[in-house]
Amino acid sequence: MKSATIPALRVEPEFRRTVEQSLHSDETLSSFTKQALREHIKRRKLQDEFVVRGLASGNKARKSGEYYSAEEVLAGLDSMLANYEKS
């Protein structure tokens, strides 16, 4: 597959210096930018999936009429955390 380019990004000189100073010895500005974009896209996908699950859960609760209070949910999460910490 033929590669494509992403449009140039204009930033303040100080910001570019900050980014360049954070690079590891084996890293280029291009590889850093490419990795940052990949990670941000992954995060966006996870956020989108989270919203879809939340909307589906809300629809399911409306249809069934089964709701849980914040206290019940937090108690359940506390229990899960306690069990996790034991293992």
In tens, the pLDDT along 12-63 reads: 999 999 999 999 999 999 999 999 999 999 999 999 999 999 999 999 999 9
Segment 75-82 mean pLDDT:
97
pLDDT at 87 > cutoff 90:
no
CB–CB of 6/37 below 8 Å? Answer: yes
pLDDT at 1 > cutoff 90:
no
Q: How far is CA 18 from CA 6, 12, 33, 35, in A?
A: 21, 10, 13, 17
